[in-house]
Every structure is written in C-alpha cells, then in structure tokens.
Amino acid sequence: MRIVMKFGGTSVGDGIRILNAAKLVTQAVEKGSEVVVVASAMSKVTDQLLEIAKKMLTAKERLQLVRKFIDQLKDRHEKAVFDAIKNESIKQIILNEQNQLLQELERALIGIAYLRELTPRSLDYVTSFGERLSVPILAGAIQDLGVKAKALTGFEAGIITNSNFGKAVPIMSKTKEKVKASLESLFKQKVLPVVTGFIGADEQGNTTTLGRGGSDYSAAIIGACLGVDEILIWTDVDGVMTCDPKVVPEAKTIPVMSYIEAMELAYFGAKVIYPKTIEPAMEAKIPVRVKNTFNPTHEGTLIVHELAKTDSVVKAISLIENAALINIAGISMIGTPTIAARVFETLAREDINVIMVSQGSSEANISFAVEGTQVEQAVKALSKELALGGNFVRGINYDKNVAVIAVVGAGMRGTPGVAAKVFSAVAKKGVNILMIAQGSSEVNISFVTTKEQSRLAAEALHKEFQLER
Ligand code: ADP
Ligand code: ASP
Ligand code: MG
C-alpha cells in the first residue's frame, strides 16, 4: 500500500510532536506501506512570517526587529532538533541547514526593509521558510528512527504552479510528470520523501504558495500524481466533526462522509480540511482519511466517493465567522442584465471568492457574501466598475459584522422540511437572518447572520438535528 501522510502545524508544533509524527510514519513503514510525508510549518510560524514581512514596511527600528525575530525562530527550531533527534551527526547536518535558511530569511527581510516594498512574490518567498525549516527536522527524526528519509521542497518534489502568488494553482500535467519522476526515483532507492506542504514554484522557478492552510492541498496533489491508495491527513482533532469543536464542544466525529459533503463543509469554513484538497483526490478516486496525532488509535473520518445509504439527513454545521455581506442596491431595470455580469466578472478578475449570492425577484438588488478580508478590495473594484457605466446603480454598501452558517448533508437531497426545521430552530433563538441560499447540489443550506448571533445559531442547529448523539 502506498500512502501520503500529511502532518499539520500543531502536529509538528515542537520537538516532541515531531518525534511523535516520525513514529507514526515509521510504524506505517514497518507495516509495509510506502509513505510520502507532507508537513506544515510549526504552528503559528506562517502567521509570524507574514507579520514580520509586513512590519518591514512601516515599523521603527526594523533591523533590530528582524534580528530578534530570527533569534526567536532559531531558538524554537533548534530546540525542536534537540528534542526530536538523538543522533549527533544527523542533528549537526540539520542545524547547519537551519542556519543557512535563517541567514537567507534574514537577508530577505532586510531587503524588504530597505526597499520598503513587499510584493506578493516576495511575501511567498518569505512565508515559504516556515515549511522549509520544519520539514528537515521531521525528515531527520524519521532517519533517526532508522528509516532513510530525504527532505524536499514542494518545488523539488515537482509541484509546478501558475504565478498567482499567495493562491497559486498547480499545473497538473507538468506537476504529474515531475512528481512521479522525483518521488518514484526515491522510492526505488528506498528513501522516504518528506515534502514541504503549502509551497511550489512557478515555471520560472519563483517560489509560490497555495493559500493559507494549503498543506492539505499539497498532500492531495502529490497523492493524485502518484495514484496512492490513501491520503491521510493527520491533524489535532478526531477527524471531521459535526461542527468545529471550538464552537460546539459536544461535536462528534463523522465516521464516513462523501467527497461532496467534505467539500461543502470545507468550503463553508470547516478549517480541518483545506477546500481544494478534495478535488484532486476525488478525480483520482483516492480515499482521504482524517486522524488525530494526539489520539492516533481513534478511527477518525474516512472520506470516500459514494456513500452507502445513510439515515442522517444533516451531517454537520459549519461556520465562517469572518465574512462580509455586500449589497448593490437600486439597480435600474435598464442596466440589470449587464450589471449582474459585470459584478461577477469584476469579482473574478480581482480573484475574490464569492461565498453565496442572492438576487431579489424585483432584480433591483444583488447581495452576496465574501471573505471579510476581501470586502474592501471588492467594494473598491465594484465602485470603479459600476461608476463607469452611468447611473444604473444607486449604491453599494457592505456589512463586515456577519457570519455564514452552512447546514450540510447528502441526505438533504429530496428530503422535504429540512429548510423549515433549520429556520424555525434558528428563529426560536431570536437569531436574525440576513440572507439565505441553497446550493444546487442540495447538499447544503446556507445563511448569513450577524457575527454575534452566529455561534448561538450553530449550537441551536447542532441540537435541533441531534448531532451530539
Ligand atoms: P492543521 O494544522 O492540522 O492543518 P487546522 O488548524 O488547519 O489543523 O485544522 C484543524 C482545526 O479545524 C481543528 O482544531 C478545529 O478547531 C477546526 N475545525 C473547524 N471545523 C471543524 C470540523 N467540522 N471538524 C473538525 N475540526 C474542525
Ligand atoms: N503553514 C501554512 C499555513 O499556516 C500551510 C498549512 O499549515 O497548511 O497556512
Ligand atoms: Mg490546516
């Protein structure tokens, strides 16, 4: 059996966690599996890299700030090496590599400080250091346990993307060829590849990143290229659950679910899987399993193609707490058809992800929800676009204080009364609904509330559909 095992940030958060991950890998090898490992940066490191890069544009005493940051990063990664690896020569090799990487990072940050310029390309270069620093430690720990292993960047493993920095998409034909060539040759030599998640490179060789949380996607891309038997996502909870356990503590593991259900949940905010992860797995019909490194004997969740018939109509509730609602009001009848098209073309051009849409039957309004972080950019672009065409629109307003909630389950298809149950449960709690949409796949019903009321709504729905049982 050949599998991809992906470890998230918490699962490689310190030396002890890294050693634990290495043991899970070597146990799979001992059972006869051929394994490719994909790993994230140590927890919080990507956030810290983003933050320091941005500070280089504005902060005072930037050079001291860089020095302090590099020292802290060095301490944390050095400590992890000491805690995860016993063998002196392996330790030394990795510490040397770390020093080189940290020097490279320090120079890059100083460059940004002097130039006072931070392009999406340089930001990707800076954020790539999180995984580039963590992955060699994990490879060293695996090696220390007696399994030959080699650390590779996503680019070295063969992930070639477009040049959409910050949200790059793999060019699958090229990637497939390269990933196969690089990883099959390691398999032949009985060397286990340990690959950085999150990062690839464009065709010019510039470092790119796949989007925040994108290490899951890296694992699925590699899995699909190699046609593995399973993609195993190791995280910090017992699989995909009926709701984020940080929101609803009674949430339970969902033992089996379909690709479509997982996709909908991820898309509507279940951070446990990065939304794009399912697509390559589904195309190659590879099962995805999600398990907990803190509780590895728990079965977790298995995500597969089609489900045997299930009794449960609703499987899970998801929540995007940081959303925004944009309303384009007073669209004149003359302008309507072209305006709707122009609105969505503009958003697509700006690479803004529209979470859900609703249009009143009078066609005088269009409302849609976007990620909270993208709302200003969206409104700016739309104001510019719609002002160009004369007086077709009265105004564009937006509300950043909203959340999107989705109720997901394949059993909803063709089951009457689910929507009524959803909205009466929420109404009973006095939750005000700002917008409603139902996916055409009928696997979800989603709606918008205020941020303050969203957790109350999620809890009420979790209870209503008895998901804690
Ligand atoms: P990793 O670093 O392993 O990729 P993430 O933090 O990206 O982990 O994702 C795991 C987190 O996702 C969990 O700690 C949990 O709080 C959150 N989460 C959100 N929705 C769900 C859900 N439906 N099931 C499980 N976890 C969820
Ligand atoms: N380290 C990256 C991030 O924090 C990718 C990941 O963890 O999946 O976004
Ligand atoms: Mg994640």
Write down the pLDDT at residue 308.
Answer: 59
The residues lining ligand 1, judged by C-beta closer than 6 Å to any ligand atom, are 8-11, 40, 213, 235-237, 240-241, 243-246, 265, 270-272, 316
Strand order in the sheet with 199-202: 160-161, 199-202, 207-209
Write down the pLDDT at residue 468.
Answer: 93
Write down the pLDDT at residue 362.
Answer: 65
Range of the domain at 391: 316-464
**Across-strand partners of 447?**
405, 436
Instruction: Judge if 215 and 346 occupy the same domain.
Output: no
Per-residue tens of pLDDT for the chain, all 469 residues: 999 999 999 999 999 999 999 999 999 999 999 999 999 999 999 999 999 999 999 888 999 999 999 999 999 999 999 999 999 999 999 999 999 999 999 999 999 999 999 999 999 999 999 999 999 999 999 999 999 999 999 999 999 999 999 999 999 999 999 999 999 999 999 999 999 999 999 999 999 999 999 999 999 999 999 999 999 999 999 999 999 999 999 999 999 999 999 999 999 999 999 999 999 999 999 999 999 999 999 999 999 997 655 667 899 999 999 999 999 887 665 656 677 888 899 999 998 999 999 876 666 788 999 999 999 999 999 988 887 556 667 788 999 999 999 999 988 888 888 999 999 999 999 999 999 988 777 899 999 999 999 999 999 999 999 999 8
Write down the pLDDT at residue 386.
Answer: 81
72: domain CATH number? 3.40.1160.10
Distance CA 87, CA 326 (A): 57
Distance CA 137, CA 84 (A): 8
Write down the pLDDT at residue 330.
Answer: 74
Q: Is residue 97 part of a domain?
A: yes
| Distance from Cα 47 to the centre of ligand 1, integer Å | 16
The first and second tokens of residue 18, run together, are 């890294």
Q: Which atom of ligand 2 is nearest to the CA of 198?
A: 5
Write down the pLDDT at residue 333.
Answer: 56
Q: Is residue 145 part of a domain?
A: yes
| Distance from Cα 270 to the centre of ligand 3, integer Å | 10
User: CA-CA distances (angstroms) from residue 162 to 32, 206, 346?
Assistant: 36, 10, 21
Q: Is residue 369 part of a domain?
A: yes
Q: Is residue 272 part of a domain?
A: no
Among 205, 236, 267, the domain boundary falls at 236
The first and second tokens of residue 386, run together, are 């719609």
Write down the pLDDT at residue 302.
Answer: 97
Distance CA 236, CA 46 (A): 17
Instruction: Judge if 196 and 327 occupy the same domain.
Output: no
* Contact by Cβ (8 Å): 197, 215: yes
| Distance from Cα 271 to the centre of ligand 3, integer Å | 6
Q: Is residue 282 part of a domain?
A: no
The number of the ligand nearest the C-alpha atom of 45 reads 2
Cβ neighbour number for residue 121 with a 10 Å cutoff: 15
| Distance from Cα 197 to the centre of ligand 2, integer Å | 8
The number of the ligand nearest the C-alpha atom of 262 reads 1
Report phi then psi at 363, rounded to 5: 60, 15
Instruction: Judge if 232 and 352 occupy the same domain.
Output: no
Among 216, 236, 256, the domain boundary falls at 236
* Contact by Cβ (8 Å): 72, 42: no
Pocket probe for ligand 1: among 44, 272, 274, 301, the residue whose CB has the most ligand atoms within 8 Å is 272
428: domain CATH number? 3.30.2130.10
Distance CA 43, CA 314 (A): 32
Pocket probe for ligand 1: among 237, 290, 459, the residue whose CB has the most ligand atoms within 8 Å is 237
CA 394 to chain centre: 37
Q: Which atom of ligand 1 is nearest to the CA of 238?
A: 25
Q: Which atom of ligand 1 is nearest to the CA of 233?
A: 3
Nearest by Cα to 304 from 255, 253, 269, 243: 255
| Distance from Cα 319 to the centre of ligand 1, integer Å | 12
Q: Which atom of ligand 1 is nearest to the CA of 274?
A: 7
Q: Which atom of ligand 2 is nearest to the CA of 41?
A: 1
Nearest by Cα to 366 from 376, 354, 374: 354
| Distance from Cα 47 to the centre of ligand 2, integer Å | 9
Among 189, 208, 236, the domain boundary falls at 236
Instruction: Please state the pTM of the whole predicted model.
Output: 0.95
